[in-house]
Structure 1
């Protein structure tokens, strides 16, 4: 697949590392039935460019380039109060000499605080131009369009980046990741049996799936939902994968059976901590000195751990975890992650 025909900004110099996790693998096996578990590898997309990395960087390479092509001077996007995507979009706007505005959705009532730590602190430090806070369930596209309309009245041009950067253009970032992985598998002589990835706004999961299908990489992708169960999540991923495929002109119908996700680890609500997440964050930090976040990667890794303990992965199967970043939000959940607060099971 030829991505060179799409405008793209480069925020990362080289491929992110593909690494085996020996200590984590041993710790996981010790907690599995009969002491048997998979070999766990990690793709370090937490080390991508833009402050301080994460999967949104790949999407923003294409989205920011599209904004510049259209003559925009302001990026407008949306997310939750601790949104990694909003932070990455702000970082991209700074790199490109643009302004940035957010629409923040309080998915948990009264969860937005101006003086919060984590990503919210970075919003202020990096100089977001304006933040509009709306209640849960608001029409986010309408709210962002209102911001764009207000800018237009001032003679400015806003560019709306969808939540999570999840549309066909943003999905190209994970087509590029699929190609990067294919090259790394070849160069490092690594054979991966399954890939575990977060499944939220669907851009990463759907884009990666389109990239794998288009490049004929025959490795199952397992999504771990961070906000929805499969009945609601799978159609979003399928729609995204098909949209990316169509944009690329692949003349391919994405098989519905290629979309696999699990929804057992995101509860009680999106962004609300649970014990499985705390275990996952502590386990990876204490075995490999790699940080996960409470909202996304912590719950995604909890899914990998939970599936391993259920025997979903075969003994010594090579499983690749896509680390999508998000460490800044750890600081907004310090007491929860250190086990100093009682949490749902």
Structure 2
């Protein structure tokens, strides 16, 4: 499977100035007995950075081609995606409508006012809410209802969908990232990534395949158990393959998801998550977020402890950013950090 410039036919807005750093974690490498590297996609730049910048380049490219002036998107209350979309909209002189879903129950006031919520308000985004957290079709439908209202006002809206029945254009950002990683480091044994919507995980896996890299890709579940996430990844990879006109079968054969760090569920902080967040900060001076990257690192530590990742192997962990969410989780984190 080769690249053949398969991404060239897709419109793309330029939000990134270049490749993100690939940083060796010397102290953790010594402690864990592996050669550990961090792909710093927390440093993508736009609006506090994070992995969603790569995805939004393709969504906004499509939106601009369609003449859109307003972007609508849905996500959790502390969603990095919606905050990044608001930043991208501001940069391009567009309006943004952010729908916040109730995915994480029993959270304190800071969760609803700090972190990504505060940043999106500074960016001038319109906010709306959706009462369910596991109803992707309903959330998308609510966006389309608001989009119809905007059309009646003379605007040209563009909806970034959450549900799997739409092409995952954002995944193309991580097809590109997979190829970028292989240019930075041609040989490595494994990549560990968060696996939620599947766009980052699926895109990266596809990008590695197009670069003819056969390294293991471990997706750490952050929202669903491994059985449900594998089924989702089957669909995501098929849809990415359809976009690129390639065979999905070799991609789907490489799906590897683990849910050992998922409990007690999406957006909830466990002792395992806190320990991973603390270890990265106190060993390397790098912050992780409680929803995605701390669980990803916890999953990596589990893979090392079980021997799935073996001593001496060269391993890359993808840091997807999400740092503003730390401030929305202060009640869940501060009292428990020692």
With normalisation by structure 1, the TM-score equals 0.90
Once residues 150 and 257 of structure 1 are traced to their aligned partners in structure 2, the CA distance between those partners, rounded to angstroms, is 43
1:148 matched residue in structure 2: 147
Which residue of the other structure, out of 259, 275, 279, is the alignment partner of 2:275? 279
Contact 2:55 2:173 in 1 (8 A): yes
Residue 167 of structure 1 deviates from its aligned partner by 4.1
2:324 matched residue in structure 1: 328
Once residues 170 and 250 of structure 1 are traced to their aligned partners in structure 2, the CA distance between those partners, rounded to angstroms, is 17
Which runs of structure 1 show a deviation greater than 3 angstroms over 4 or more consecutive aligned residues?
Answer: 109-115, 163-167
Residue 341 of structure 1 deviates from its aligned partner by 4.0
Structure 2 unmatched ranges of 5 or more: none
Once residues 150 and 35 of structure 2 are traced to their aligned partners in structure 1, the CA distance between those partners, rounded to angstroms, is 51
Once residues 8 and 255 of structure 1 are traced to their aligned partners in structure 2, the CA distance between those partners, rounded to angstroms, is 24
- SS across alignment from 1:319: strand
2:177 matched residue in structure 1: 177
Contact 2:86 2:96 in 1 (8 A): yes
Is 2:24 the partner of 1:20? yes
1:268 matched residue in structure 2: 264
Alignment of 1:129-278 (within 5 A): 129-138=126-135, 139-163=138-162, 167-186=167-186, 191-278=187-274
Superimposed CA distance per residue, residues 209-249 of structure 1 (whole angstroms, 9 cap, x where no aligned partner): 12122221111100000011111001211221221122112
Is 2:120 the partner of 1:126? no
- Relative to structure 1, the CA distance from residue 246 to residue 115 in structure 2 (aligned partners, 3 Å threshold; closer, same or farther) is closer
Contact 1:85 1:163 in 2 (8 A): no
Which residue of the other structure, out of 7, 10, 20, is the alignment partner of 1:6? 10
- Relative to structure 1, the CA distance from residue 151 to residue 260 in structure 2 (aligned partners, 3 Å threshold; closer, same or farther) is same
RMSD: 2.0
- SS across alignment from 1:43: strand
2:86 matched residue in structure 1: 90
- Relative to structure 1, the CA distance from residue 112 to residue 71 in structure 2 (aligned partners, 3 Å threshold; closer, same or farther) is farther
Once residues 181 and 112 of structure 2 are traced to their aligned partners in structure 1, the CA distance between those partners, rounded to angstroms, is 39
Once residues 222 and 127 of structure 2 are traced to their aligned partners in structure 1, the CA distance between those partners, rounded to angstroms, is 27
Mean alpha-carbon deviation: is it higher for 85-94 or for 161-170? 161-170
Residue 133 of structure 1 deviates from its aligned partner by 3.4
Contact 1:56 1:164 in 2 (8 A): no
Once residues 42 and 20 of structure 1 are traced to their aligned partners in structure 2, the CA distance between those partners, rounded to angstroms, is 6
1:34 matched residue in structure 2: none
Once residues 335 and 167 of structure 1 are traced to their aligned partners in structure 2, the CA distance between those partners, rounded to angstroms, is 37
Contact 1:164 1:203 in 2 (8 A): no
2:295 matched residue in structure 1: 299
Residue 110 of structure 1 deviates from its aligned partner by 5.8
Residue 292 of structure 1 deviates from its aligned partner by 0.5
Q: How many residues align?
A: 329
Superimposed CA distance per residue, residues 28-68 of structure 1 (whole angstroms, 9 cap, x where no aligned partner): x2xxxxxxx32211100000031111110001011001001
Contact 1:195 1:322 in 2 (8 A): yes
Residue 108 of structure 1 deviates from its aligned partner by 2.6
Once residues 112 and 76 of structure 2 are traced to their aligned partners in structure 1, the CA distance between those partners, rounded to angstroms, is 15
Once residues 120 and 108 of structure 2 are traced to their aligned partners in structure 1, the CA distance between those partners, rounded to angstroms, is 13
Structure 1 unmatched ranges of 5 or more: 30-36
- SS across alignment from 1:295: coil
Contact 1:271 1:295 in 2 (8 A): yes
